[in-house]
Structure 1
Amino acid sequence: MKIAALGYYGFGNLGDEAVLAGIRTALTERFPAAQLLVLTADSMATTALHPGVGTANRWRWKETVRALSGTDLFVFGGGSLLQDVTSGRSVLWYALMALIARRKARRVLWWGQGIGPLSHPLSRKVVRLIAQQADGLTVRDIKSAALLKEIGVTRSIEVVADPAFALDPIAVTKPSGTLVALRRWPGVSPETLAHAVPGATALPMHLPDDLEAHGKLPCYNWQLEGASVAEVLGKVAVAEQVVAMRLHALIFAARCATPFVALSYDPKVDALAQATGQEDALLDAVQATPESLRAAIARVRENAPQRRAQLHAFAQAERSRARRPGELALEWFR
């Protein structure tokens, strides 16, 4: 069986690589003999993080079309691929790739997609078009499902969990203290926030973009360390707590039942804090000050055991839901 996957892979973003690793984990459970082809921006980086996968350069159209020929299952996602905040052209590019995949693959499955925002009428039109043509639609949250319905998608939509919840951490024995995962964003001074957490270690999720956002904090550069996604998860699992803007740093914390402080710059961060019952650990990243951040850290630390128990229960439920798209695919190919 031949399976192909397209997402934001090969760009040095650990969150998106965790999505791919989670998808691969769930697929391997259902299709142990399948060949997985990844459409990526950097084949060497992808094979280093995901040994054993095949790759094709996503920017070379002829190579991509040739690679997709004879595909049984095309997996689209997850992550936030279909949004026009960063660029409307991104939506059009992914839509074109989805249309090509529709012609080349027997089945097309959207896997835990995060949809929106979709502000431009053309973005909404093309997303509706490719959604209607897919064989299966799964999204990672209720708001994504609602947005697809709002733009006119009439197909069945199932809400699952982010694929990263399907992963298991590799055991690490050395405690890693507090991990901080910040990013640059209009109106936010990440260096100021990093200065409010002395003694912490920076976990830059998107390399090299996030390196300078952490001021003078010592850095755990997973890329230079040659760490796998599961090894980074293991480091999060032995952390005292995580302070993060990056969504997947917070997802890693939730998966490992590690207490966190979430600095929100996007509704998806708010949604995760609410889903995990950690609303009191949520701060607006633009409004946050060193004082309010230190207060939130202290508040989370005060009842860390209860938070760990709450997050553990949440992670167990999400782990099962993250595998659900694999079950849908299995039904097609029994």
Structure 2
Amino acid sequence: MTVDLDGARRVLVVGNFGNGNTGDEALLARALTELAPGAQVSVLSRNPRLVEWTHGVAARPMTAVSFAAGLRWCDAVLVVGGGMFGSGLPPLVRLLPTVVEATNKAGRATFYLAVGVYPGTPPAVLRKLRSAAVFGRLTVRDNLSARTLGVPVPVVGDLALKLAPASTEAANLALAGAGVEAKAPLLLLSLKALPDTGRMAVLRETCLLAASRWRERGGEVAALALSTHADYGLGLAHRDAALAAALDLPVIGPQLPPALAKAVVGRAAGVLGLRLHALVFAAGMGVPFAGFDWEEKSRAFLAEYGGTVLGSAADWIDTITEVAAP
């Protein structure tokens, strides 16, 4: 993977960081390893202190004034991926390609690293992203993003796939802290709330049946919480840990350092997830995984990395012995 910032020494990194989502922090952790040794970094963040504690780099608040000051300070802008571009873009994300293009024209290096670009991205945003791709300033994380752009562009995979995990000993301590002995084969469930109540009922039923079947076979079951809050504007009652508690499962996380979260996944015998980065961590650690293809990014990942796609509880019961039986 190559990030071409023309030898820049002061890099402003932009993405959804400091927002309590372990997957996004994993993207930042991996991206920082791609920068030139000695580069000064400032991360635009929703929670600068949290980013500084997690990653050991300088951060600044995600405000218009701070962003403008960061653009004056830097000699390069690095936009780090995730499911950044698609339908329903927030105003700031919609404006970002315009700002990046203007920054490039002003003489600063710019690069989009492993971004997701999905159907529904507004045409004006797509045009600017395509221009960056044509001039070698953009890579994407999956083939769906490349097809959406419609121009030749490197597909580099999700950055978290190659994030170095923490030690097995650290993972065991994290599990023990959540009351999980992990002496028997461990099934990790990664829950996420959706606004579709029908799908949430399917998710709940699938997880309950999977947990029951796994325990019958002598295994342990726990939940991995990868976000402090619920997506789609849903309330705290729908956050990952609350969903797991409603299923009476021990919970590891949230707010795990990304390398530790990946190491915890590496201790599992199988992962069933709706959160994308539970699946990404599993693929990166060689752990069998299964998930629902209800979001564009998850559908693309499952198609490219061979995870089992689940549509109902029956699907999981039918495939559990092939996916990750104790």
Q: TM-score, structure 1 length as denominator?
A: 0.76
Q: 2:249 maps to what in 1?
A: 217
Which of 44, 67, 77 is matched with 2:70 structurally? 67
Superposed counterparts of 1:20-39, under 5 Å? 20-27=28-35, 31-39=36-44
Shift of 1:148: 1.1
Quick one: distance in 2 between partners of 1:264 and 1:135? 31
Call closer, same or farther: CA 1:135–1:235 in 2, change over 3 Å: same
2:9 aligned with 1:13 = no
8 Å CA contact 1:82–1:94 kept in 2: the answer is: no
Q: Which moved more, 1:92-101 or 1:35-44?
A: 92-101
Quick one: distance in 1 between partners of 2:15 and 2:107? 16
Call closer, same or farther: CA 1:114–1:268 in 2, change over 3 Å: same
Call closer, same or farther: CA 1:207–1:100 in 2, change over 3 Å: farther
Quick one: distance in 1 between partners of 2:207 and 2:141? 30
Q: 2:86 maps to what in 1?
A: 83
Aligned residues: 280
Which of 45, 48, 66 is matched with 1:40 structurally? 45
2:210 aligned with 1:206 = no
Shift of 1:41: 0.7
Shift of 1:99: 4.4
**RMSD value, Cα:** 2.3
Call closer, same or farther: CA 1:292–1:130 in 2, change over 3 Å: closer
Q: Secondary structure at the match of 1:217?
A: coil
2:68 aligned with 1:55 = no
8 Å CA contact 2:42–2:58 kept in 1: the answer is: yes
Q: Secondary structure at the match of 2:317?
A: helix
Q: Secondary structure at the match of 1:10?
A: coil
Q: 1:167 maps to what in 2?
A: 163
2:315 aligned with 1:292 = yes
Q: Secondary structure at the match of 2:59?
A: strand
Residues 157-178 of structure 1 deviation map (CA, whole Å, 9 limit, x = unaligned):
2111211123111122434711
Shift of 1:67: 1.6
Shift of 1:61: 1.2
Q: Mark the runs of 5 or more structure 1 residues left unpaired by the alignment.
A: 305-334
8 Å CA contact 1:3–1:36 kept in 2: the answer is: yes
Shift of 1:75: 0.9
Call closer, same or farther: CA 1:89–1:102 in 2, change over 3 Å: same
2:281 aligned with 1:252 = yes
Call closer, same or farther: CA 1:182–1:104 in 2, change over 3 Å: farther
Residues 285-324 of structure 1 deviation map (CA, whole Å, 9 limit, x = unaligned):
xxx12x432333222125x9xxxxxxxxxxxxxxxxxxxx
Q: 2:149 maps to what in 1?
A: 148
Quick one: distance in 1 between partners of 2:145 and 2:315? 31
Residues 10-46 of structure 1 deviation map (CA, whole Å, 9 limit, x = unaligned):
111111111111101222xxx1111111111111221
Q: 2:124 maps to what in 1?
A: 125
Q: 1:195 maps to what in 2?
A: 208
8 Å CA contact 2:101–2:128 kept in 1: the answer is: no
Percent identity over paired residues: 26
Quick one: distance in 2 between partners of 1:294 and 1:90? 43
Shift of 1:105: 6.1
Quick one: distance in 1 between partners of 2:90 and 2:257? 32
Quick one: distance in 1 between partners of 2:41 and 2:137? 19
8 Å CA contact 1:2–1:72 kept in 2: the answer is: yes
Call closer, same or farther: CA 1:97–1:294 in 2, change over 3 Å: farther
Q: 1:326 maps to what in 2?
A: none
Quick one: distance in 1 between partners of 2:103 and 2:223? 38
Shift of 1:72: 2.6
Q: Mark the runs of 5 or more structure 2 residues left unpaired by the alignment.
A: 1-8, 173-181, 213-219, 231-239
Call closer, same or farther: CA 1:182–1:36 in 2, change over 3 Å: same
Quick one: distance in 2 between partners of 1:104 and 1:36? 20
8 Å CA contact 2:12–2:74 kept in 1: the answer is: yes
Shift of 1:101: 4.0
Q: Secondary structure at the match of 1:18?
A: helix
Q: Secondary structure at the match of 1:63?
A: helix
8 Å CA contact 2:22–2:257 kept in 1: the answer is: no
Q: 1:332 maps to what in 2?
A: none
Q: 1:232 maps to what in 2?
A: 261
8 Å CA contact 2:190–2:273 kept in 1: the answer is: yes
Q: Secondary structure at the match of 1:8?
A: coil
Detail structure 1 runs of 4+ shifted over 4 Å in the superposition: none
Residues 109-154 of structure 1 deviation map (CA, whole Å, 9 limit, x = unaligned):
11011101226xxx121331254257511111222112112xxx6x
8 Å CA contact 2:241–2:254 kept in 1: the answer is: no
2:219 aligned with 1:180 = no
